[in-house]
Amino acid sequence: MLTIDNKKAVLLQAFGAAETVTGSKLLVRTPSLNIMIDCGLFQGLKSLRAKNWQYPPINPSKIDDLLITHAHLDHTGYIPLLVKYGYKGKIYMSAPTRELCEIILRDSAKLQEEDAYKANVHGYTKHKLAEPLYTIADVEVALKQFVTVELNKLYQLNNYINFQFFPAGHIPGACSIKLNCYGKHIVFSGDLGRRHTPYLPSPQAPGEADYLVMEATYGDRLHENSDAGEQLTAMVREVISQGGNLLIPCFAVGRAQELLLLLYQLKQERKIPKEIPIFLDSPMASLANKVLLHYPEWTTLANRHWQKVLSSITINKDFSGTERIIKQKGSKIVLAGSGMLTGGRALEYLKHYLGDDRNIVLLIGFQAAGTRGRALLNGAYEIKIHGGYYPVIAKVHEITGLSAHADQQELMDWLYSNNKAPIKLYLNHGEPCALEALRVKVKDKLRWDVTILKQDQLEVLYAV
Ligand SMILES: [Zn+2]
């Protein structure tokens, strides 16, 4: 067998999102540069979250460049720590990602500081003294290394390596990345969005990839064909007829905006009453709304339309407002973060709404293992929030058609759009069942060499 000298090869290693959907961190080791793609936090299962507290598997000072596909916390949330531990290089991302990322990281640090404080005051921690993973001060230091890149433009890292960002749909600013590395193209999908969503471009074809690294969040599922608007209409009508409330936990960036747009359309079409109040209880989502207005070229929706959508809802920013909304009589629709119910304002609503069968909790995004969202989808009879147990009496529904992720067919279509069979396809960012289903599908339909990336395992791509 031909052996390759690792010092003269291009190697790939996953430090996260390997057989799971969070903690995205990929490292491309080359003879001249070490390049990291995404730098996300682990979320969900405690065993995964514990990894956030471990020192990185590579000394961050040995990483030369960091490229970020999109702003979601599971792709960016570890950046402040990487910098704290010694990463000195640039952090490249698209303009909307940069602005969203600043909001998301500051919010992440704030939540962690608040959670640590609450845990210490109320004593619901088993640790002696709860500490935040990082602080707002750590975030501010990291932001200084951010650099904005333009779409489809080549950026040279050295004589052998350049890169290019191209649209991935998913959320505003989200990109796939093509690394032209020692004469071969390595394409990283990032998170791929759905085709024909109401306000985002469809993912762009990878082009001519020699190696592909593709996400597989919904590698084993097809999204429902049924109209998401009709399903949502039925749920809104149901809560109104019963005097209940509709709680929609959602990612503040991306999902919240698409949902607001859909609800606005349903009101315009008189499918749901104009009078039903819609609350967006998320300081972060309200900031994200403004970012969309700054980058009209990144959405397919005109700014004046966005203004109308935003003026039709009530945005709440402060915590006292949450109590007022909860106490307000009459049916209402509430959108609040976080999308997988791992934290945020949505938990306050859950505490009040879960125990009443007139209420509906609607889950629309992917719910990772170990999150309260997954527990609800699995039919849990009680949910633990801030040390207390809350019985699940409210109805729990899901609409997968509103997901920000491509389904199996859309992932396959993205692969078909590569102009040639790659030397190898690597699958990441999926739970084991999803990865395995997609691996088998690719092998059967495309007959490509396909491998599921394993945590920390070194993959030798090619000699240079
Ligand atoms: Zn994402």
pLDDT (tens digit, 9 = 90+) per residue, 190-245? 999 998 888 898 999 999 999 999 999 999 999 887 788 999 999 999 999 999 99
Compute how many other C-beta atoms are within 10 angstroms of the C-beta atom of residue 356. Answer: 14
Tell me the pLDDT band of 462, cut-offs 50, 70 and 90: very high
For residue 111, is pLDDT > 50?
yes
Could you tell me the distance, in angstroms and rounded to a whole number, from the CA of residue 255 to the centre of ligand 1? 10
Could you tell me the distance, in angstroms and rounded to a whole number, from the CA of residue 224 to the centre of ligand 1? 20
pLDDT (tens digit, 9 = 90+) per residue, 55-83? 999 999 999 999 999 999 999 999 999 99
Could you tell me the distance, in angstroms and rounded to a whole number, from the CA of residue 131 to the centre of ligand 1? 27
pLDDT (tens digit, 9 = 90+) per residue, 318-335? 888 999 999 999 999 999
Strand-pairing partners, residue 395, are: 360
Could you tell me the distance, in angstroms and rounded to a whole number, from the CA of residue 2 to the centre of ligand 1? 38
* Residue 153 and residue 57 in contact, taking contact as beta carbons nearer than 8 Å: no
Q: Which CATH number fits domain 6-221+404-463: 3.40.50.12280, 3.60.15.10, 3.40.50.300, 3.40.50.2020?
A: 3.60.15.10
Could you tell me the distance, in angstroms and rounded to a whole number, from the CA of residue 125 to the centre of ligand 1? 30
Could you tell me the distance, in angstroms and rounded to a whole number, from the CA of residue 461 to the centre of ligand 1? 26
For residue 150, which amino acid is it? Answer: E
Q: What DSSP string describes 21-59?
A: SS--EEEEE-SS-EEEE--PPP-SSHHHHGGGGSPPSS-
Helix extents (H) in 243-387 = 255-268, 283-294, 303-311, 319-327, 346-353, 372-377
Q: What is the pLDDT of residue 1?
A: 47
Q: Which residues are CB-neighbours of 370 under 8 A, at least 6 positions away?
A: 44, 45, 46, 48
- Provide mean pLDDT across the span 420-440: 97
Could you tell me the distance, in angstroms and rounded to a whole number, from the CA of residue 73 to the centre of ligand 1? 8
Tell me the pLDDT band of 88, cut-offs 50, 70 and 90: very high
* Three-state secondary structure readout of 370-432: CCHHHHHHCCCCEEEECCEEEECCCEEEECHHHCCCCEHHHHHHHHHCCCCCCCEEEEECCCH
- Provide mean pLDDT across the span 103-126: 82
Could you tell me the distance, in angstroms and rounded to a whole number, from the CA of residue 24 to the centre of ligand 1? 10
**Beta strand pairing call for 450-452 and 175-181:** unpaired
Distances (CA, A) of 229 to 171, 194, 225, 259, 401: 20, 16, 11, 10, 9
For residue 251, is pLDDT > 90?
no
Tell me the pLDDT band of 152, cut-offs 50, 70 and 90: very high
Separation of alpha carbons 15 and 201, rounded Å: 29
Domain with CATH 3.60.15.10 in the chain: 6-221+404-463
Could you tell me the distance, in angstroms and rounded to a whole number, from the CA of residue 371 to the centre of ligand 1? 16
CA 145 to chain centre: 22
Could you tell me the distance, in angstroms and rounded to a whole number, from the CA of residue 74 to the centre of ligand 1? 7
Q: Which residues are CB-neighbours of 336 under 8 A, at least 6 positions away?
A: 247, 248, 249, 250, 279, 280, 281, 282, 344, 345, 346, 348, 349
Q: What is the pLDDT of residue 301?
A: 85
Could you tell me the distance, in angstroms and rounded to a whole number, from the CA of residue 72 to the centre of ligand 1? 5
Domain with CATH 3.40.50.10890 in the chain: 228-402
Separation of alpha carbons 181 and 444, rounded Å: 29
Could you tell me the distance, in angstroms and rounded to a whole number, from the CA of residue 327 to the centre of ligand 1? 33
Q: What is the pLDDT of residue 164?
A: 98
Tell me the pLDDT band of 117, cut-offs 50, 70 and 90: confident
Return the SS3 of 265.
helix
Could you tell me the distance, in angstroms and rounded to a whole number, from the CA of residue 191 to the centre of ligand 1? 5
Looking at domain 228-402, does it have CATH number 1.10.540.10? no
Could you tell me the distance, in angstroms and rounded to a whole number, from the CA of residue 170 to the centre of ligand 1? 7
pLDDT (tens digit, 9 = 90+) per residue, 333-373? 999 988 899 888 999 999 999 999 999 999 998 898 899 99
